[in-house]
Structure 1
Amino acid sequence: MKYLDISGVDASAIVAGCMRIGSMEPEALSRFVHAALDNGVNFFDHADIYGGGECEAAFGRLLAAEPGLRDRMVLQSKCGIRKNMYDFSKEHILESVEGILSRLGTDRLDFLLLHRPDALMEPEEVAEAFSRLETSGKVLHFGVSNFNARQAELLQSGLKQKLAVNQLQFGLTFTGLVDHAICANTEFPHAADRDGEVLDYCRLKGLTIQAWSPFQYGFFEGVFLGSPKFPALNEKLEELAEKYGSTPQALATAWILRHPAGMQVISGSTNAARLQEICAGCDVDLAREDWYALYLAAGNKLP
């Protein structure tokens, strides 16, 4: 397992995403969490909306049943999404964190992220909430999710805490973070800058990018691994898996980890064997030519 230093936290490069754990039986959830820890995964990602809160509640019941687990892991959750709206008001952030902590059965979050940008965000109001949470010890570090560069900069302008994380969708079939830079100074469609060069911004400002839905294409349309919609990509993944003595799942993970931004990869799988394959991507030192070969096989072009 590779580890990153995120604001002084020793964080695994692979993150166990907990969006799908709400319906798991307690024994199955325990096996999954222990499998993650056994593979070196110490970082667990939640959000208050996952399963309507049941995902956090299920995880909290596990922590209550096995008290020693909490100190072996980094816990992250997200807030700010409400029905038909986004809400970064001080009251909502504070209320959300109280609910998250109660469901998880813990006294602190290692990281709190604002889930999706609120058009009515007031940085000074968010700052009040963050400061109260930090002073009380209820949240140790802060970040954002799905923010472009200017949105992150605007929020940072009101904060005394340094934003540590930006959670963004990225993977072989969702390559917007790198497309416009590769196609700079061209009229290629991919040259359009849709996010304010957020990848470069995060690198300059020291925010760790957490790649969500790394194996999905589109917006939750499906998984590209083994999909007949991506024959060239899957053929290249199989070819390189043989070359590196690995698996397509690990190669797709290694492709993200190869980027010098030093990203984390959020696995959404609750299958222990699949998680182990994803973790194996940390052991693949992908050559530059193979990184580009996969990028092209996914349907992208170079100028």
Structure 2
Amino acid sequence: MSYKIEPLPNSYAHLGEGPHWDVEKQSLYYVDIEAGKLLRYDYQEDKVYHSKIEGVDLAAFVVPIEGQNDKFVVGDGRRVVVVSWDGISETSKVDRVLFEVQPDEQYVVNRFNDGKADPRGRLFAGTMRYVGDEFKDRWGELYKYEKGGKVSVVKSDVGISNGLAWNEKSKKFYYIDTTDYEVKEYNYDFDTGVPSKPKVVFNLRKSNPKDNLLPDGLTIDSEGNLYVATFNGHTIYKINPSTGKVLLEIKFPCKQITSAAWGGPNLDILYVTTSAKFEQPAPAGTTYKITGLGAKGLPMSKVQL
């Protein structure tokens, strides 16, 4: 297969994450977590816009809000906030706090990490220990926000809450806790938003535990194949979750691959975020586009408030 990997112009994010393709805007939104920034790649202009969210230190994910133009939910520490951004301005503003989790003093070292909306507009987002050892202290949780304001815990005992994807055809939900070194598949009730019966469909452990790959973000194509980013592996793995077979290994010129999302007019371009954290050399932190993969994604969902 002859696919092509190209950097997006001026796309650097020190800790790029949370890519979301907005079909209506023909734009890729993503975050620079530790800079508290939102970024938008405009497909027509082939240009990336950067915006600092006023008063926000951490921006873990960004998901547009259904029916509200230029409004987004963003993970800020242990809060999820509603942010206004026109997609161009160099600063953006918090409108209000949507909800906050883990208020106990013990969890002040926690922060939100990855977040996405399921196909019914429910927000799924999870936390991780931000200061200390998240592999030892599994203080994270995965949460679900439903239209009208109900927030519930989907899963506790989480190290680093990460990749999320859904398959409506097979009624499955896919979830990554990086500290488990694996991708889990759940049965998923789309009426209730309840996952059940987890099983491992992709194991990234190596014979030497020091070599274990760290699964990060996750996306899915229209055929149900998963694309798993590895934070320490230079690679996105395309896998068939029914068989666990690796169908393709997409290699990058930087080590820390954080997440991926399908976009473009035909949803056949895979956009990939990376990280320059821990003093990684250039081109770490670049956001890439991959063409020629011979696959298509599914439209991403917005959050319903």
TM (norm. structure 1) is 0.30
Higher strand share: 2
Q: Select the structure of larger CA radius of gyration.
A: 1
Higher helix share: 1
